[in-house]
Structure 1
Amino acid sequence: MKPQKSTLVLAALSGVPFIMVLGNSMLIPVLPAIKEALHLTQFKVSLLITLFSIPAGIIIPLAGFLSDRFGRKKVIAPALILYGLGGIVAGLAAILLKSLAYPAILGGRILQGIGAAGTAPIAMALTGDLFTGKQRGTALGIIEAANGLGKVVSPILGALLGLITWYATFLFFPLVVIPVVLGLWFLVKEPEGNRQAQSVNQYLKSIARIFEKKSAMLLTSFLGGAVALLILFGVLFFLSEHLETVFRLNGVRKGGALAIPVLFMSTTSYLTGRIIKKRLALMKWLVVGGLALIGGALTMIGFYRTTYLFFIAISLAGIGTGLTLPCLNTIITSSTATERRGLVTSLYGGVRFMGVALGPPLFGLLMGYGLPLMFWSTAALAGVTALLAAFLIRVKDMKAPTTPEEINRPAPYTPQPAFGLAARKPWNPPDEQGL
């Protein structure tokens, strides 16, 4: 792909995760205002994040299957439109309804979540289709950086919109969807000939074969993405309340403070994508190091919570997330053939959404038991995930099969080691003459 054309294509593709991430991150600075306006509990206000993310996580595998069968753009464009429509429903509910505003807003958020299922994960698969070799790592790093940039901009943007009114954030979604849909449709030319016409049963069997061969690496990678985003959104949810009650920050100042960890994450994601290229072993150890850095930063917050150390620690956690996610994106997309990439990346995206969904309520629950327990328990989760990545992500599993025979070949039988004498000397059955 020519440099100028690839820049336009990447710009169009980057708009998809940028828009998708606004769905949660832009609401975080106005959650206290929503809580006050609708007289909600801390748990009920966290459902505005959770009921966006859970439907997305459930629908994403279906969106991945449809993208493999009918094309990526034919899934992404309608999904973006549904995403914008959910914002209209939530915004109008806040304006027109009174006692029923909260459940109607939740309904709009569910619609947005269903739409979000067909956005960023499918855009990631399409990026994997369009770019190969060293370009793929760089392109996926830019896609993750766009995701991070959305997280940086969205708290500030949400705080600015909140100055108008708390429901202005919902009505902003359809305004930004339109240019992204047009850019994707007219600038991105999807590769032809990589759609598959298998039956659903055959397709699922081929996916099962991928997991037979690479289950340890794929499941560990899925867990790593979920844990990184669970912690990120849990910390942001905690910060939204903490910055007002402890540091007395409101409005744009609060949005700027919320943007600090994701600014470090976005910058690190971009730089990581530039350096990993096809260095498979480096990707593995950056994942391990990134998760370990997240765990170390959270442990430090549990011990020391002075203002400077607090912001240093959340910045380090952002750097750790920026090291982890681009490498996991590249590992997932590079280890799967094009014909199966849509569903596999969508399963990964679904697990990531589940991490986002669980983060706010989990941190909200743990806050009731004290901040040290909240930070140390999530630090332990990051540490355990780093150890699993060190032992279960293997370089040889990161390469995609390149021929139909490799794609459909069953996993080879590997005899399990026996115990006792049989472990020392294999037994061979005698032939007929030996009986």
Structure 2
Amino acid sequence: MNKNVDKVSVWCIVSMASIPLVMTLGNSMLIPVLPILESKVGISSFQSSMIITSYSIAAIFLMPVVGYLSDRLGRKKVILPSLVLALIGGLIAGFASWKMEDPFTWIIIGRVLQGIGASGAMPIVLPLVGDLYKDDDEKTSSCLGIIETSNTFGKVLSPILGSVFAAFLWFLPFFAISVFSLISIVLIFFFIKAPKEKDEPKKFKEFLQNTKKTFKKEGKWLLSVFLLGFFAMLVLFAVLFFLSENLESVHDIKGITKGFVIAIPLFLLCIVSFITGRKIKGNLPTMRKVIIVCLIALSASIIFVGFTSKKLTLLLIVTSIAGMAIGALMPILDAIITQNIKKEERGTITSFYSSSRFAGVAAGPPIMSLMMKDFLNIGYISAGVLGVVLLFIVMKCIKVDEIEN
């Protein structure tokens, strides 16, 4: 096992970490630009939210299929073509914004292509880490912490980079996504050496039966993890969308300054994610306790976002607490899924988990666009109540002895 671990080079880890970084930039980088898009393209707040949602919806339904293909064909053979699609999607959206008078439809087409690319890249990283580190839970947890930190670091960079690029040309972020995808393609092609399979991949019928058995046996805690991933991303992207609109309309903070302000809670999210990934070391009882604490902190803080919306300092404190709770939660969910599912079904199961996360990403902005005008406080209070419901589900369904057996 040590021999296998030694083969996982620093550049291999950097290459894997580039995937969630690029996919996160591909979505989150556009959030601070949405008010500009609304003005330049002549669209409503709800339509601008569709630019985020179309990316995520395309990924949601394809991820389980791509997970199966990665189990059968190999992780790298699925990731590379997917990143190429993400690159092409960015070019389509960018050129449409640049050259067309009414580019909205083509922007959505480009975003859908990027979402398809994300479906074949983002969820495959988790099982790839498990493949490379075999049964070393501590090193797997540490690497997954780096991967999740890369994801969250992308969220920190996104509002800043998006604002900077848009300051030069409002549609430049679309082209930037393609450039970042190209960098990731090069890194993965040269530096990721996935272990060769000694056994023949299972036939689809046998694979389907095994997957059904996995859900039947592990269904309670798997569903709980899926719900937690959905809830965390729903809250995060609803808050980010709200901040982008609120900072301009209420606090008159725009452009690059707005990008840095949005990055404050995301920066704290990133730091906590990194620390959590380094500390949990595959310890399931500790992970369960941290999940409970995170849900309590997230549910308590999110209730006050609407009430503090006109007081910038309090708003940033509340959203930062929520961000830190999400930052601690995500690497734990990654580790639980990766370490407790057999390799043969790992790609598919993690893809269902990634689909649940992307469903939250897809739902957050449009729900917030509909609620923030007249039902802001009701929306955030409802989110807090939902968090409490999930807390009881976790306490009932995520049990250490059942998962480890």
Q: TM-score, normalised by structure 1?
A: 0.89
* 1:200-215 equivalence runs, <5 A: 200-215=204-219
Per the alignment, residue 221 of structure 2 pairs with: 217
Number of equivalences: 399
SS of equivalent residue, structure 1 residue 49: helix
CA contact (8 A) 1:68 1:196 kept: no
Per the alignment, residue 324 of structure 2 pairs with: 319
Shift of 1:119: 1.1
Structure 2: stretches of 5+ with no match in the other structure: none
CA–CA separation in structure 2 for the residues paired with 1:374 and 1:111: 31
Give % identity: 37
CA–CA separation in structure 1 for the residues paired with 2:142 and 2:120: 23
1:72-92 CA distances to partner (integer Å, 9 max, x unpaired)? 000001101100100001111
Residues 1:297 and 2:315 are matched in the alignment: no
CA–CA separation in structure 1 for the residues paired with 2:35 and 2:391: 34
Shift of 1:196: 4.8
Residues 1:307 and 2:312 are matched in the alignment: yes
CA–CA separation in structure 1 for the residues paired with 2:7 and 2:349: 30
CA–CA separation in structure 1 for the residues paired with 2:61 and 2:137: 31
Per the alignment, residue 115 of structure 2 pairs with: 113
Per the alignment, residue 82 of structure 2 pairs with: 79
Given the superposition, is the C-alpha separation of residues 175 and 302 from structure 1 closer, same or farther in structure 2, using an over 3 Å criterion?
Answer: closer
Moved more, 147-156 or 363-372: 363-372
Higher alpha-carbon Rg: 1
Shift of 1:194: 6.2
* 1:418-433 equivalence runs, <5 A: none
CA contact (8 A) 1:79 1:118 kept: yes
CA contact (8 A) 2:71 2:201 kept: no
CA–CA separation in structure 1 for the residues paired with 2:333 and 2:18: 20
SS of equivalent residue, structure 1 residue 166: coil
CA–CA separation in structure 2 for the residues paired with 1:282 and 1:341: 23
Shift of 1:202: 1.5
SS of equivalent residue, structure 1 residue 300: coil
Given the superposition, is the C-alpha separation of residues 250 and 341 from structure 1 closer, same or farther in structure 2, using an over 3 Å criterion?
Answer: same
Per the alignment, residue 13 of structure 2 pairs with: 10
The amino acid across from 1:124 in the alignment is L
Given the superposition, is the C-alpha separation of residues 39 and 128 from structure 1 closer, same or farther in structure 2, using an over 3 Å criterion?
Answer: same
CA–CA separation in structure 2 for the residues paired with 1:251 and 1:86: 25
The amino acid across from 2:77 in the alignment is K
Shift of 1:46: 0.6
1:395 maps to which of 397, 400, 403? 400
Per the alignment, residue 280 of structure 2 pairs with: 276
Moved more, 14-23 or 165-174: 165-174
Per the alignment, residue 202 of structure 2 pairs with: 198
1:316-372 CA distances to partner (integer Å, 9 max, x unpaired)? 001100111110000011110111100000110011101100000111122133321
Shift of 1:380: 1.3
1:397-434 CA distances to partner (integer Å, 9 max, x unpaired)? 4348xxxxxxxxxxxxxxxxxxxxxxxxxxxxxxxxxx
CA–CA separation in structure 2 for the residues paired with 1:124 and 1:111: 22
* 1:168-187 equivalence runs, <5 A: 168-187=172-191
CA–CA separation in structure 1 for the residues paired with 2:339 and 2:361: 24
CA–CA separation in structure 2 for the residues paired with 1:194 and 1:108: 39
CA–CA separation in structure 1 for the residues paired with 2:81 and 2:404: 32
CA contact (8 A) 1:336 1:399 kept: no
Q: Which runs of 4+ in 1 moved over 4 A?
A: 1-5, 302-305
CA–CA separation in structure 2 for the residues paired with 1:129 and 1:173: 28
CA–CA separation in structure 1 for the residues paired with 2:26 and 2:171: 13
SS of equivalent residue, structure 2 residue 193: coil
CA–CA separation in structure 1 for the residues paired with 2:226 and 2:337: 9
CA–CA separation in structure 2 for the residues paired with 1:86 and 1:194: 36
Shift of 1:252: 1.1
1:38-58 CA distances to partner (integer Å, 9 max, x unpaired)? 111111111001100001011
Per the alignment, residue 142 of structure 2 pairs with: 138
Residues 1:51 and 2:71 are matched in the alignment: no
CA–CA separation in structure 1 for the residues paired with 2:231 and 2:198: 32
CA–CA separation in structure 2 for the residues paired with 1:95 and 1:300: 40
Per the alignment, residue 359 of structure 1 pairs with: 364
Structure 1: stretches of 5+ with no match in the other structure: 401-435
CA–CA separation in structure 2 for the residues paired with 1:58 and 1:195: 29
CA contact (8 A) 1:60 1:117 kept: yes
CA contact (8 A) 1:121 1:345 kept: yes
Moved more, 164-173 or 80-89: 164-173
Shift of 1:5: 4.7
CA–CA separation in structure 1 for the residues paired with 2:182 and 2:28: 20
Given the superposition, is the C-alpha separation of residues 39 and 195 from structure 1 closer, same or farther in structure 2, using an over 3 Å criterion?
Answer: farther
Shift of 1:2: 5.8
CA–CA separation in structure 2 for the residues paired with 1:27 and 1:186: 29
Per the alignment, residue 335 of structure 1 pairs with: 340
CA contact (8 A) 2:282 2:335 kept: no
Per the alignment, residue 125 of structure 1 pairs with: 127
1:67-120 CA distances to partner (integer Å, 9 max, x unpaired)? 000000000011011001000011111122213x11011000000000000112
Pairwise CA RMSD: 1.5
CA–CA separation in structure 1 for the residues paired with 2:392 and 2:130: 28
The amino acid across from 1:20 in the alignment is M
Moved more, 281-290 or 265-274: 281-290
1:187-239 CA distances to partner (integer Å, 9 max, x unpaired)? 11101126652221211111010011010100000000010001000000000
CA–CA separation in structure 2 for the residues paired with 1:21 and 1:397: 33
CA–CA separation in structure 1 for the residues paired with 2:240 and 2:198: 39
1:154 maps to which of 153, 158, 168? 158
